[in-house]
Structure formats: C-alpha cells, structure tokens
Structure 1
C-alpha cells in the first residue's frame, strides 16, 4: 500500500513564541493522521471500538529537522513500520509541498480490549488496515 498523507495547515494557535509549531502539536497531528490513515484503509475508529478493540500509544520518538510556521501547508505521511503480536509501530513524516521532511517520528501502539481487560493480539481487522510494513524511517 502507498504511504498515506494527511494535509495540515498550521493554525495560529499552534505556533509558539519562536514563530514555529510548538512541539506538542506534532503528537496531536499524528493522532489525527492515524485515525484518517485507518479510515482510508476501511477501518473506522468506531468500527474498531465496536469490535471490542482500541489502541494505546506507549512510545513515541520524534526527530525535528526544521520548524514550520503559521499558515504553512504540510502533509503528515503515515506508514506501517512494524507489526508485532500485540503492538505495532507507525512511522510519520511532516512534509512540505516540495517533499522536504521537517520532522520524523516512530510511535508504538498496543492493542487493548475496550472492556479494560488488557492488551490483545492484533486482530485481523486492524492487521488488514495496517497492511504490510513499509517503514519511512530506516
């Protein structure tokens, strides 16, 4: 499957006193992008919850290369990096229109049961949506 891209226009309130996007907003963007990534692959968040599953972020590693400012248009690229038994990694890149990567990240998610009973093996409906690993970060 091709890498998914989620468009973002930097909003005024996302920019800090240095004139660039405040670092916490990247995790919020990645969270939005995950939902859209899965939905583009025919797994809505609601259907995952209705099937009894949710995903929980357990680790994120982010590397910034350059800042982006108010009003800039970027794309959040998302790709499956790894599939484990109960967890998976997604790679993210924040890309300018010219393809320049301003930030990259790898985030680990664990599949959990919505009833609070703990982690679960990755079910087929989530595995199908994630697809074969094709990491952005090498």
Structure 2
C-alpha cells in the first residue's frame, strides 16, 4: 500500500481521446501536472508566485508505465506521494479508475529547481515544507 499524501479526481473529456477512443498518451502528462499544481495549491504554494520570486520548478525526467487505457467519460483519481533524492524532488503519481479501482498508470516525475537562474541543490524543497 502506497502512502499517498494527495489525491485529485478528474473526468476524461471527449477531446482528450484519439481516433481509437482512448486518452491520448500525451494527455496523461497534463493530468499528472495538474495534480502536482493542485498539490502545491493545497499547501498554499503559488506556482505563479514562486516564478515571480525567481524560483522555477521544472520537470527534468518523467517515466510513465501505462497499464490500461482511460476512455471518454471515465472518472479517475491521480494519487501522489513525494520523496527527496538529492537535488531532486520525486513525485510518484498513480492514476486509478474510480469506478473499478484499477491502476491505469504509474509515473515517476523528477522535479528540479532553479533559483535566480541557477540550479539549486534542492534546499528550496525543504523550505516549502512539502
């Protein structure tokens, strides 16, 4: 059992599906990014304000393991947990179909930070209390 610290539910929209009637693989990255931004928001951290303050959080690597395909109208949950690994903050994000509880996607997203245009050692992640 994973120790998820955040969850958001979303619904697949028709325009996110390809000609096969399944969610296009690139759309899953949008779902994952939305969950990360909402997680920051839940911690009262403004992505926009961080950027204005010269703190830029960036994805440096993403791995996605597709297990099943979401289709139009599916309601799903993105659940995440985080780990600090050196200069990186690692988001482990899993997508589950709400109706059957099945795992549809496992992702690992490495996030780094630049502060005033210089790569940080990750200390910003500690000060954000994530």
Name the TM-score, length of structure 1 as normaliser. 0.82
Contact 1:11 1:70 in 2 (8 A): yes
Distance 1:72 1:21, change over 3 A: same
Alpha-carbon distance between aligned partners in 2 of 1:2 and 1:16, rounded to the nearest angstrom? 30
* 1:85 equivalent in structure 2: 86
The alignment's C-alpha RMSD in Å is 1.7
Say which is worse superposed, 82-91 or 32-41, in terms of deviation.
82-91
Does the CA contact (< 8 Å) of 2:4 and 2:80 recur in 1?
no
Aligned residues: 125
Structure 2 match to 1:118: 118
Alignment of 1:30 onto 2:32: yes
Give CA-to-partner distance per residue, 1:65-115, whole Å, 9 cap, x none.
1111001110111110x21332111011111113211111001111112x3
CA contact (8 A) 1:43 1:125 kept: no
Partners of 1:44 and 1:125 in 2: CA distance:
14
- Once residues 15 and 25 of structure 2 are traced to their aligned partners in structure 1, the CA distance between those partners, rounded to angstroms, is 12
Q: How does 1:92-131 map to 2 (within 5 A)?
A: 92-97=93-98, 98-113=100-115, 115=116, 117-122=117-122, 123=124, 124-126=126-128, 128-129=129-130
SS at match of 1:39: helix
Change (3 A) 1:65 1:2: closer
Q: Which runs of 5+ in 2 are unaligned?
A: none
1:11 to 1:46, Cα distance in 2 relative to 1, 3 A? same
Structure 2 length-normalised TM: 0.87
